């Protein structure tokens, strides 16, 4: 492979350029002639399919039903809940014409679907027996993002799962909000090997129209946080705006308690950025489009024994349910193929040459460590499975170590500033006054990312910005 076909920049030197190359050259996504909108190429979309394949059954088991609402939302619906509209207005795409005629009413490309789903629930829901109700759509949403497009991380078209629920009591809705954020956290850690922190957003950072927002955040290698999923307690605000009511057990009409939660393609970006190395992507096996690639090392006169052996290994491994590819493309050297699959992040490579066949073994190569393991034929299936598990575990523990190492416990503003300069984030006490957030932003460059669950704040702990009594410990950092 010639130099410019591979990744030409080191991850540590320029993570932004490295990320672009990893995404594009690894066949995950690419830019298109549509400004701000990327194309998901087969490797990228397959990762998303595998995420859907894992998460859709979890949603269904929880009582969530899949639906698909219209992409276009009339202006009068979007404006009905004032906070929500104010929050989203600056980034809404509007459709104003049909053919060559102006439309009677502007239509928004959905930035999120609360307004249209709640409108229909206002019509459909009648009784407490209709509750709880939970709708999910796997779809795209649109935001007129003005910052530079970063595939999977930031763009004008976002692929996601958005779930909306309505409940009879506030307690149930709160429980739902918490269930969702933990389901997201568990999913991202279990299949993407990305450790996250879980907690609540500060008031200034909550979803437009929500009572509060819970979130999961992952920490990227450059010390920036990546918001990777959010869950909102909407309480009564939307129910009042859209007339979502039901007859309760006392036979009285009352408003439903609402929630919504979403998980987007951003998690793919985070996964690529965290695990990748100077050769490109390193994929956790559970979401790898190809988990094992077999590369025959053929020499003249010996083709037949090698091809027979690799053909047999291929079909044996496929029978176990693994996603395995036999790379028997002609006209490429084995070395070229190694680089090609490494760039795409395939977890395991099996090299099979004439000598291996004679010794009844194959050479297994780990994508993450480059470690080579000679494996006898009869132990291949078990070893492949074991090494895939080990690779996942190693990716997770490495990312976990990095998260711990990049988290600074700070009690003074200078320490937060230093943490940010060192490409880390800081856990520091905060009084809850938004003026302190603005001050922190100016003085340290950091924003509040999350108030982690389960924290124990000592008495008389002082806010890192103003010195008043603190109410919470907060993660402060830069973000994507």
Cα angle, residue 34 at apex, residues 33 and 36 outer, rounded to 5°:
120
Place of tokens 């709708």: 135
Distance CA 295, CA 226 (A): 36
CB of 476 to Zn ion, least distance (A): 12
Contact indicator for 160, 141 with CB cutoff of 8 Å:
yes
Q: Which stretch binds Zn ion (CB under 5 A): 168-176, 245-253, 427-435, 445-453?
A: 427-435
Residue span binding Zn ion (CB under 5 A) among the ranges 54-62, 120-128, 369-377, 457-465: 457-465
- Binding residue (CB under 5 A) for Zn ion from 75, 466, 471, 479: 466
Count of chain residues binding Zn ion (CB under 5 A) = 6
Distance between CA atoms of 211 and 113, rounded to whole angstroms? 17
CB atoms closer than 10 angstroms to residue 242:
24
Q: Which is nearer to Zn ion, 431 or 450 (CB)?
A: 431
Interface residue with Zn ion, options 64, 141, 294, 436 (CB under 5 A): 436
Q: Rule CB under 5 A: is residue 446 a binding residue for Zn ion?
A: no
Residue 410 within binding range of Zn ion, rule CB under 5 A: no
Q: Rounded distance, CA 476 to CA 201, Å? A: 11
Q: Does 428 bind Zn ion (CB under 5 A)?
A: no
d(CA 452, CA 211): 17
**Applying CB under 5 A, which of residues 431, 451, 473, 474 lies at the interface with Zn ion?**
431
Measured between alpha carbons, how far apart are the two ends of the chain, in Å? 33
Q: Does 141 engage in binding with Zn ion (CB under 5 A)?
A: no
Using the contact rule CB under 5 A, the part of the chain among 32-40, 211-219, 379-387, 432-440 near Zn ion is 432-440
- Would you put residue 210 in left (φ > 0), alpha (ψ -120 to 50) or beta? beta
Query: Counting contacts by CB under 5 A, is residue 465 touching Zn ion?
Result: yes
Distances (CA, A) of 438 to 129, 434, 446: 46, 7, 9
Q: Among the candidate windows 324-332, 378-386, 387-395, 459-467, which touches Zn ion by CB under 5 A? A: 459-467
The answer to the question of residue 416 lying near Zn ion (CB under 5 A) is no
- Work out how close the CB of 124 gets to Zn ion at its nearest, in angstroms, rounded to a whole number: 46
Binding mask 277-316 for Zn ion (x = CB under 5 A): ----------------------------------------
Evaluate whether 299 touches 206 at the Cβ level (below 8 Å): no
Neighbours of 58 (CB within 10 A): 13
CB-side neighbour CA atoms (13 Å) of 24: 16
Query: Does residue 153 interact with Zn ion by CB under 5 A?
Result: no
15 binds Zn ion (CB under 5 A): no
Residues near Zn ion (CB under 5 A) are 431, 433, 436, 463, 465-466
């Amino acid at each position: 492979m010639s130099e410019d076909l591979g990744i030409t920049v080191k991850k540590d030197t320029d993570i932004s350029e490295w990320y672009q190359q990893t995404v594009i050259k690894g066949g995950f996504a690419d830019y298109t002639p549509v400004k701000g909108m990327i194309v998901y190429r087969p490797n990228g979309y397959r990762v998303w399919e595998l995420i859907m394949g894992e998460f859709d059954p979890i949603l269904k088991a929880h009582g969530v039903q899949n639906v698909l609402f219209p992409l276009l939302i009339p202006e009068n619906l979007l404006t009905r809940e004032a906070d929500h509209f104010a929050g989203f207005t600056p980034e809404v795409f509007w459709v104003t014409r049909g053919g060559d005629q102006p439309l009677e009413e502007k239509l928004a490309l959905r930035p999120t679907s609360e307004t249209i789903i709640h409108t229909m629930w206002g019509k459909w829901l009648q009784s407490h027996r209709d509750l709880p109700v939970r709708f999910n759509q796997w779809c795209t949403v649109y935001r007129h993002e003005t910052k530079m497009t970063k595939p999977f991380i930031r763009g004008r078209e976002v692929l996601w799962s958005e779930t909306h629920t309505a409940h009879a009591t506030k307690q149930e809705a709160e429980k739902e909000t918490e269930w969702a954020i933990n389901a997201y956290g568990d999913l991202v850690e279990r299949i993407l090997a990305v450790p996250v922190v879980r907690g609540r957003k500060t008031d200034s950072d909550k979803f437009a129209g929500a009572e509060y927002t819970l979130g999961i955040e992952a920490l990227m290698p450059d010390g920036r946080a990546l918001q990777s999923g959010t869950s909102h307690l909407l309480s009564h605000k939307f129910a009042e705006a859209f007339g979502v009511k039901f007859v309760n057990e006392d036979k009285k009409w009352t408003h439903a308690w609402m929630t919504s939660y979403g998980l987007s393609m951003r998690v793919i970006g985070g996964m690529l950025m965290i695990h990748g190395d100077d050769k490109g992507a390193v994929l956790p096996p559970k979401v790898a489009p190809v988990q094992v690639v077999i590369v025959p090392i053929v020499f003249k006169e010996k083709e037949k024994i090698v091809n027979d052996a690799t053909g047999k290994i291929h079909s044996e491994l496929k029978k176990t349910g693994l996603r395995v590819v036999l790379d028997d493309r002609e006209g490429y050297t084995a070395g070229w193929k190694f680089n090609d699959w490494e760039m795409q992040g395939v977890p395991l490579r099996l090299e099979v040459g004439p000598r291996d066949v004679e010794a009844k073994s194959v050479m297994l190569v780990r994508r993450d460590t480059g470690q080579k393991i000679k494996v006898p034929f009869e132990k291949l299936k078990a070893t492949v499975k074991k090494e895939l598990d080990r690779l996942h575990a190693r990716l997770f523990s490495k990312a976990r170590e990095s998260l711990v190492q990049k988290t600074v416990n700070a009690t003074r503003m200078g320490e937060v500033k230093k943490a940010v300069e060192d490409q880390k984030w800081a856990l520091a006490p905060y009084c809850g006054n938004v003026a302190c957030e603005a001050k922190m932003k100016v003085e340290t460059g950091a924003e509040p990312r999350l108030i982690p669950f389960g924290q124990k704040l000592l008495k008389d702990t002082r806010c890192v910005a103003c010195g008043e009594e603190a109410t919470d410990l907060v993660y402060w950092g830069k973000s994507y």
